[in-house]
Structure 1
Amino acid sequence: MSEELAGMVAIVTGGASGIGRGIVERFLAEGAKVMIGDVQDELGSSVADAGGDDALFCHTDVGDQAQVCALVGAAVERFGGLHVMVNNAGRSSPLKKGLFDEDFAEFDSVMRTNVLGVMAGTRDAARHMAQHGGGSIINISSIGGILAGGGVATYRASKAAVIQFSKSAAIELAHYGVRVNCLAPGNIPTPILRSSATEEDREKLDRFEARIRQTMRDDRPLKREGTADDVAEAALYFATDRSRYVTGTVLPVDGGTVAGKVMAPRTPR
């Protein structure tokens, strides 16, 4: 590793597993000190323990603004500053058979985690960064917030909201040297897909997940599987000075899925 983040402090919400854990591990490897915020205490503590003195876990429900504020304060107190904020924590909405069967019972909790958590994290991080030379805020959306599709309607709406909010925040915070960008992962195997299954689906989970994953593969131009490391690499770019003139952008990390339909391969001439 090149130690690109040496001397920097980062917060990663939802850092106990999946994409968040991949970002935490990459940032630590690049020399950052990382505060991990998550509701999964055992997993979060394990990730922090593996990071040694450069990592700390703080139980954080990002849907609670007071806890988000406390997370930012804890990072500044423990490590002496804050340079990078990754608002990654998120959850899916239940996968229903169709819109007619949707009761939106999970609407408030999904929006509170996926949207309010990002908004509060951006605000609280920016308050510190604006007074200390700027910084980078990285909000994790999804290709589900870019591409329309059936199912998980609340999740898609929440991730679209993250994109619009991030662009608006980027405009407002640019004056203070605070950059705000979005990553939109797609087709990355993480536990969030499993959480979208209903109780009925969980009984047939293997077939359910295999079917969804195959559909994702069929829609993806690049045929290799994406990983949390791929998203972490993109997050590293936004965290470093390499992206010093980049703000208000949305970067899909999806093997080309949002670019367009897959074409049949042709033999080069």
Structure 2
Amino acid sequence: MTDELAGKVAVVTGGASGIGRATVARFVAAGARVVVADLDAEAGARSIAAHGANAVFVTANVADPEQVRALVAHAVTTFGGLHVMCNNAGISGTMHKTFLHDDLADFTKVLGVNLLGVMAGTRYAGEHMAAHGGGSIINLSSVGGVMAGGGVQTYRASKAAVIHFTKSAAIELAQYDIRVNCLAPGNIPTGLLAASATAMRSEVSEKFTAAARAAMRADRPLQREGTPEDVAELVLYFAGDVSRYVTGTVVPIDGGTVAGKPLRSLRKPDDTTAVRNPDDTAATENGSARRPVAERS
């Protein structure tokens, strides 16, 4: 137990699983009381089960601004205020289609959750915080919003928009002592990747997910898998007073993916023998790997 958030109230959207669930646990451990929002009521109940009276669950669709407004009001009514808003809820859309084969049928749904949900959360939390001394808003983007690449174009566009929106909101809300920051997770094993492949046959989906994870692992400098708990620690930093002079930032948490590709082989000056990276299981014959982009929940 720590006390970074003692006496504070937080809302975590998409808090039933993955990064959201890890964030809820970390916030409670740091002394906060938390309202968990998600569409999955069963998983939401599991998310709060170990936290007693310090966490409550609300079923909410963040793509509906009125439900987000009600969510913020519920936090204020239940716990007496709101100091931290973590806009984490996100979906990937259909991953296995190339852009020219994508009918864009999921465009409105993806943008509704990933962008409108973040904007609504920022707007309604910010309204309360502006009248009550400020607060911290943390928006979850993705390395897919930082780095261009093939595949999941709607997802990438939504996450890039979250980054630009975060910076703009940080500028406007600074006058109220509201900090707005953005995290860009990458290569974090959650249910999002598997969910994006649900249209495939189960055996194809499993192979797709395994190949995607291997490709992402091979394409980052740090070879260990990131975890939702890794991301939750960074969310905690932005939620607490230790980051009181930080706003408008975008921080990748991705094992170095955004920094650049790892060195695939090393050659001695007088030796033509290449020493391959033993973990480079997803490399193709020319040493490159295709990397899909569904990194987080």
Band the TM-score falls in, shorter-chain normalisation: over 0.9
Q: Quick one: distance in 1 between partners of 2:42 and 2:96?
A: 31
Q: Quick one: distance in 2 between partners of 1:51 and 1:57?
A: 11
What letter matches 2:189 in structure 1? P
Aligned to 1:254: 254
- What pairs with 1:1-269 in structure 2 (closer than 5 Å)? 1-197=1-197, 199-200=199-200, 202-264=202-264
Q: Quick one: distance in 2 between partners of 1:22 and 1:177?
A: 27
The Cα of 1:46 is off from its aligned counterpart by: 2.2
The Cα of 1:71 is off from its aligned counterpart by: 0.4
The Cα of 1:201 is off from its aligned counterpart by: 5.2
Counterparts in 2 of 1:253 and 1:201: CA distance versus 1, 3 Å: farther
Q: Quick one: distance in 1 between partners of 2:224 and 2:207?
A: 21
The Cα of 1:266 is off from its aligned counterpart by: 6.8
What letter matches 2:191 in structure 1? P
The Cα of 1:47 is off from its aligned counterpart by: 1.7
Identity of aligned residues (%): 61
* Contact 2:12/2:87 (8 A) holds in 1: yes
Larger radius of gyration: 2
Segments of 4+ in structure 1 off by > 4 A? 264-267
What letter matches 2:238 in structure 1? F
Deviates more, 1:135-144 or 1:198-207: 198-207
Q: Quick one: distance in 1 between partners of 2:101 and 2:42?
A: 36
Considering fraction of residues, name the structure with more helix.
Answer: 1
The Cα of 1:49 is off from its aligned counterpart by: 2.7
Listed one character per residue, the Cα deviations across residues 63-103 of structure 1 (whole Å, up to 9, x for unaligned) are 01110000000000000010000000011110234221011
Matched positions, count: 267
Q: Secondary structure at the match of 2:93?
A: coil
Unaligned runs of 5+ in 2: 268-297
Q: Secondary structure at the match of 1:258?
A: coil
* Contact 1:152/1:196 (8 A) holds in 2: no
Counterparts in 2 of 1:14 and 1:21: CA distance versus 1, 3 Å: same
Deviates more, 1:88-97 or 1:131-140: 88-97
